[in-house]
Amino acid sequence: MLNKKQIKNWLYRFGYDTDYANSPLSKAICDEQFLGEAKSRTAEYSAVFEEHRQASTPKLPLEIEFRKRAHADRSLLGNKGYGLAQMSYLGFPIPPGFTITTDGCRNYYDQGQTLAETIWDQVVAEIKLLEKATGKQFGSAPFPLLLSVRSGAKTSMPGMMDTLLNLGLNDETTELLGHATQDARFAYDSYRRFIEMYSSIIMGIDHHLFVEVVEEMKAAENVHHEAGLGLGALHAVIDRYKKIVWAHTGTTYPQDVFEQLRKAIVAIFASWNGPRAVTYRTLNHINDQAGTAVTIQSMVFGNRGTDSLTGVLFTRNPSTGEPTLFGEYLINAQGEELVSGLVTPRQITRQGRQAIQDKQASLEEAYPVVFNELRHLAMELESHFKEMQDIEYTVEQGKLWLLQTRNGKRSAKAAVKIAVDMVCEGKIDAEEAVQRIDYNQIEQLLHATLDAHQSIEILTHGLPAAPGVASGVIVCAPEEVAALSKTENVILVRGETSPDDIGSMAKAAGILTTKGGMTAHAAVVARGMGKPCICGARGITIDMENRLLLIGQTKLPMGSYVTIDGTTGAVIKGKVATVQQKPFPEFVTFMGLVDQLKRMEVRANAETVQDATVALSFGIAGIGLCRTEHMFFNVDDMRLFRKMILMSDATARLNSLRELLVVQKRDFKALFQTLHGLPITVRLLDPPLHEFLPHHPKEIAELALQLGCPLDEVAGRIEELDEVNPMLGHRGARLAITFPEMYAMQVQALFEAALEVEQVALEIMLPLVFDAKEVIFIKNIIETVHQKTAPHIPYKVGVMIELPRAALQAATIAPLVDFFSIGTNDLTQTTLGISRDDGAKFLDSYQQKGLLQDDPFVTLDREGVGALIHMAVVEGRSANPNLKIGICGEHGGDPRSIEFFESIGIDYISCSPYRVAIAKLAAAKAMRFTDVRR
Ligand code: ADP
Ligand code: MG
Ligand code: MG
């Protein structure tokens, strides 16, 4: 016999346990004495709140165990179900219902895409409970129960899988609903919505066909909003809807309400593998195994007259991070209208309304009681989750219901501000704040804004939906974006966007819509992608036929340039200049937290004063790699350098080296002065000499003329220096073995420069060594010059570990030097035997075929190259306990590689100046894996 416990529970129930409306909490919130900021809540209020929360713990005995366990399991309930379960746990006003867990979705696919009877039986039983709780009947008199059927995976995917509202209506129940509510108009309005959604979502009929009917009817009746359609008009709309369904499918939508429900559940499970959802998951690297949950909930109605409304709300401003409520609402409407962006919603707060100079009254002004309650509940939710919440709510005849809460998407700037503010408010600690910021958010913050010192032509304004500036050519057809975006920046201009546009939005530089509000699809997605976006630019007409945009008197053909400023909402003619954003106070504070948390030093790779200055502005510990050959890149210096290389006899070469000494010294001195005593690791000449020489006959002739040398001599010398495999040829320390005078010159320049500045922490680095004897040989060159030039100037010597043999010899090399700098680029090339320049041709195939997880030149190959590094670290340190070990090379700026470097106790990483902030953040985040803080 089956024991109850052995029956698998597929469902999670919510919204039953408290009568919120009559609770002391509800009274407390509405009570005058608790008005004011939720932050400053009184002890008395806290006690009421806690009592309420305890009263709302599950009381239905059968599932208590399951419910206690499941209510905190996001992967089981999906993000939406999880939010509802949590609100249920807090005893907040949510319409009762239940969630079919993601196990149900996996089961559906395991069973060859069928809904198991055991699951269905539980659903039917649950409906009975819902009927009891609501006093309504599913599919019958006196008051028909209507349901909302909602999808929701663990990771929230805005708009990815559709929600069906008003399920349970048919010709008969609509009549009954009209009777029960004494409002036939409301009943038929709901029925119209149901047919529309059921037919498009479940039966696959193009949604626009229905929208057209309503638009025509609005025009015929001369009303602006759907709410203006009377009962007669609604009947006519429904008739035409039914004809559309019949014409397209040769059948009708089900009149049997249980059939409606069953098909809806199946459709949601099926939508998990629909193209939109798959695209979204691919773009966001979401694991395909997870599946979606289905939430079935009793309906509440925002479309029951002017004391009913629906809206969304963020507990903080998602663009700026300001700690003020931000959101929109629509009177006498249901939620999907708001998300669709087809109508202009009203603002929640007076402040928000004033900010965009909206004339329509805000919720705060028009419905102060509801606003106050909503504000309190929203702030409680934020405190509960310790995260900015994105909340959906509906008011039915004056009564507030919460329908969804989740962590809100936000701009990069808002993310940083909110994280820092929450640390200050004591809601989270610094570790948590640092974990909450993504690398691409930091990247966005370092992006450019409009240069104020130029005249620009503003064509029109829209709503500032996602910050940042983007210039690009106008494209109105999403299918044209892919091809054009290969060569040009593209601004995608649309009426509104839908989930089908995700692919082209990802390729566009910016998004501009003529309809919709700040929480429309385009806005939400753009903020998530970090793209500048303007919504609701109503001054723009898209003329598809003539392929142009009409803005006032201006006609802009597709393909012409516009600039959008998503921070201000300005649409600007042409391409415009931008400037780097100044760090805002919270960003500085945030980077301060990062600096406190990280253990590794972060340095920059720089060889010019300009790069060093940028790097210093990001707060570096020094320069970790100064590539001296990069210092000859200007024309004059390059000419001198070439001359030196081309001199085949030693005396002539020494003469040119003397000339070079002057420019090297000048450049080193400027760098030293810029650094004000911060350490600088100067790498002596590394690349093969022929890399500096021209190879084209015409250029060779020019060079000969320039140097006043016979052409055949020059050509002959170039040929002499030519190598079959220069990467493995005469380069790095090997240059010093054959031409010691070159390194001697560089070292002399360094010491002479050091003598002329107040302070410098000089570190001289030898590239491409593989043996201790090489190191001793070159150290002798250095020390000889040192003694002659500046014996009292201290300096350090180190080597690059960039050949496997050097790593293997770590124990013999380490005692000779002060530091190792791991050159991960060359070490990857030489360990894998793959040239970085040629690898691109086949490394892709390795990744596609699953043979390599990552491009080893981007993310360090831990098992191979990483193992060598680890060995060098361990052996190097045991031979020389004072050895300092750093990383230079691309991997020094790659977060996943940095995680590894932290784990093996590297002392510092060095990366390009613009990566410094990201490298620091990665170093700080990596601390979560380190048990012992050193
Ligand atoms: P999405 O994933 O697009 O946010 P939701 O499931 O949240 O989908 O549903 C979209 C909208 O439908 C909600 O914002 C809400 O306004 C409305 N809605 C969902 N469930 C209900 C319900 N039980 N009663 C009334 N409206 C609902
Ligand atoms: Mg929602
Ligand atoms: Mg190298």
Q: What is the pTM of this model?
A: 0.82
Mean pLDDT of the chain: 90
- Selected from 3.90.1010.10, 3.20.20.60, 3.40.50.150, 3.40.50.2300, the CATH number assigned to the domain covering 598-688+723-933 reads 3.20.20.60
Instruction: Grade residue 2 by pLDDT with cuts at 50, 70 and 90.
Output: very low
d(CA 916, CA 368): 48
The answer to whether residues 125 and 62 touch, using CB atoms and an 8 Å cutoff, is: no
Lowest mean pLDDT among 769-783, 842-856, 858-872: 842-856
Which residue minimizes the CA distance to atom 22 of ligand 1?
Answer: 299
Taking a 5 Å cut-off on Cβ, the residues next to ion ligand 3 are: 802, 823, 826
Asked if 197 and 273 count as a contact pair (C-beta separation under 8 A), the reply is no
Q: Does the pLDDT of residue 16 top 50, yes or no?
A: yes
Rounded distance from Cα 637 to ligand 3 centre (Å): 22
Of the listed ranges 30-39, 88-97, 577-586, 706-715, the one predicted with least confidence: 30-39
Segment 706-720, tens digit of pLDDT = 888 889 988 998 888
Residue 933 has pLDDT above 50, yes or no: no
Ligand 1 site, residue 624, Cβ cutoff 6 A = no
Question: Around ion ligand 2, which residues have CB less than 5 A away?
Answer: 392, 404
334 Cα: distance to centroid of ligand 1 (angstroms) = 8
Class for the domain spanning 447-580 = alpha beta
150 lines ligand 1 (CB under 6 A): yes
Q: Which residue has the tokens 């990566």?
A: 915
Tokens representing 528?
Answer: 């998530």
51 C-alpha to ligand 2 centroid (Å):
29
Helix or strand or coil: residue 441? helix
In angstroms, the CA 647 to CA 697 distance is 19
What is the 3-state secondary structure of 838-864? HHHHHHHHHHHCCCCCCCCCCCCCHHH
Residue 135 pLDDT class (50, 70, 90 cuts): very high
Preceding amide of 142 cis, omega within 30 = yes
Identify the bridge partners of residue 533 per DSSP, sorted by sequence position.
466, 511
Which protein residue's CA is at the shortest distance from atom 19 of ligand 1?
148
What is the predicted pLDDT for the residue at 734?
Answer: 95
Counting from 1 in the atom list of ligand 1, the atom nearest the Cα of 159 is 3
- With a 6 A CB cut-off, is 297 part of the ligand 1 pocket? yes
- For residue 715, give the 3-state DSSP assignment: helix
Give the residue extent of every domain in the chain. 4-298, 309-410, 447-580, 598-688+723-933
**How far, in Å, from the CA of 336 to the mean position of ligand 1?**
7
The model's confidence at residue 1, banded by pLDDT at 50, 70 and 90, is very low
Over pLDDT 70: what percentage of the chain? 94
Pocket probe for ligand 1: among 394, 395, 524, the residue whose CB has the most ligand atoms within 8 Å is: 394
pLDDT band at 629 (very low <50, low <70, confident <90, very high): confident
pLDDT at residue 396 greater than cutoff 90: yes
In this structure, which ligand is nearest to the CA of 822? 3
Neighbours of 701 (CB within 10 A): 14
Query: Is the Cβ atom of 159 under 6 angstroms away from ligand 1?
Result: yes
The pair of structure tokens assigned to 564 is 């959008």
pLDDT at 68 exceeding the cut of 70? no
CB of residue 339 inside a 6 A radius of ligand 1? yes
Mutational test site, ligand 1, from 336, 338, 399, max ligand atoms within 8 Å of CB: 336
Asked whether residue 3 carries a pLDDT value surpassing 70, the answer given is no
Superfamily of domain covering 309-410: ATP-grasp fold, B domain (3.30.470.20)
Q: Measured in angstroms, how far is the CA atom of residue 855 from the centroid of ligand 3?
A: 18
Q: Which two tokens stand for residue 132?
A: 């009891």
Domain at 4-298, CATH from 3.40.50.300, 3.40.50.720, 3.30.70.20, 3.30.1490.20: 3.30.1490.20
Instruction: Assess contact for 129 and 240: CB atoms under 8 A.
Output: no
pLDDT of residue 791 exceeding 60, the answer is yes
Beta bridge partners of 310: 330, 394
User: 27 pLDDT band (50/70/90 cuts)?
Assistant: confident
Strand blocks (E) in 506-613: 510-513, 533-535, 540-543, 548-551, 554-557, 561-565, 570-573, 578-580, 601-605
- 732 CB less than 6 Å from ligand 1? no
Q: Among 150, 308, 312, which is best to mutate for testing ligand 1, by the most ligand atoms less than 8 A from CB? A: 150
Exposed/middle/buried for 698, CB within 10 Å: 0-12, 13-18, 19+? exposed
CA 925–ligand 3 middle distance (angstroms): 28
148 in ligand 1 pocket by Cβ < 6 Å?
yes
Going from the Cα of 858 to the center of ligand 2, the distance in angstroms, rounded, reads 38
CA of 163, nearest ligand number = 1
Q: What is the pLDDT of residue 584?
A: 87
Q: Which residues are catalytic?
A: 521, 888
Long-range CB contact pairs, 553-558, < 8 A, 24+: 554/459, 556/459, 556/474, 557/474, 558/473, 558/474, 558/475, 558/476
Which atom of ligand 1 has the smallest separation from the CA of 336?
11
Percent of the chain with pLDDT over 90: 65
531 pLDDT tier (thresholds 50, 70, 90): confident
803 neighbors 830 (Cβ within 8 angstroms): yes
Whether the CB of 336 sits within 6 Å of ligand 1: yes
> Distance, CA 285 to ligand 2 centroid (Å)?
22
- pLDDT tens for 895-912 read 999 999 999 999 999 998
Q: What is the DSSP annotation of 746-813?
A: HHHHHHHHHHTSS--EEEEEE-S---HHHHHHHHHHHHHHHHHH-TTS-EEEEEEE-SHHHHHTHHHH
Q: Is 403 in the pocket of ligand 1 (CB under 6 A)?
A: yes
**Mean pLDDT score, 146-171:** 85
Q: Does the beta carbon of 320 sit less than 6 angstroms from any atom of ligand 1?
A: no
Can you tell me the mean pLDDT for 615-636? 89
Mean pLDDT value of segment 227-249: 94
* Contact between residue 497 and residue 474 where contact means Cβ atoms under 8 Å apart: no
pLDDT tens digits, one per residue of 663-719? 999 999 999 999 999 999 999 999 888 888 888 888 889 888 888 888 998 899 888
Given a contact cutoff of 8 angstroms between Cβ atoms, the answer to whether 918 and 439 are in contact is yes
- Residue 29 has a pLDDT of 83
Tell me the per-residue pLDDT of 360-382, one tens digit each, with 9 for 90 and over.
999 999 999 999 999 999 999 99
The answer to whether 206 and 200 have CB atoms below 8 angstroms apart is: yes
Residue 72 pLDDT grade (very low, low, confident, very high; cuts 50, 70, 90): confident
Ligand 1 pocket, 801 CB below 6 A?
no
CA of 923 to the centre of ligand 3 (A): 23
The ligand whose atoms approach the alpha carbon of 733 most closely is 3
The residue among 265, 298, 139 whose CA lies nearest residue 198 is: 265
At residue 32 the predicted structure's pLDDT band, cuts being 50, 70 and 90, is low
CA 28 to ligand 1 center in whole angstroms: 28
- Asked whether 163 lines ligand 1 (CB < 6 A), one says yes
**Mean pLDDT across the stretch 847-874?**
93
pLDDT at 141 over 60: yes
**Closest Cα to atom 8 of ligand 1:** 163
pLDDT at 419 over 80: yes
| pLDDT band of 34, cuts 50, 70, 90 | low
Of 231, 211, 229, give the one whose Cα is nearest residue 220: 229
Ligand 1: atom nearest CA of 295 is 6
Distances (CA, A) of 775 to 688, 721, 763, 807: 19, 24, 15, 14
- Nearest atom of ligand 1 to the alpha carbon of 301: 25
Higher model confidence: residue 903 or residue 32? Answer: 903
- Which residue's alpha carbon is nearest to atom 18 within ligand 1? 335
Q: What is the largest CA-CA distance in the chain?
A: 109
Q: Is residue 199 within 6 Å of ligand 1 at its C-beta?
A: no
Residue 155 Cβ inside 6 Å of ligand 1? The answer reads no
Ligand 1 atom closest to the Cα of residue 157 is 2
730 vs 440 pLDDT, higher one: 730
From the CA of 521, how far away is ligand 3's center (Å)? 48
Tell me, using a 6 A CB cutoff, whether residue 335 lines ligand 1.
yes
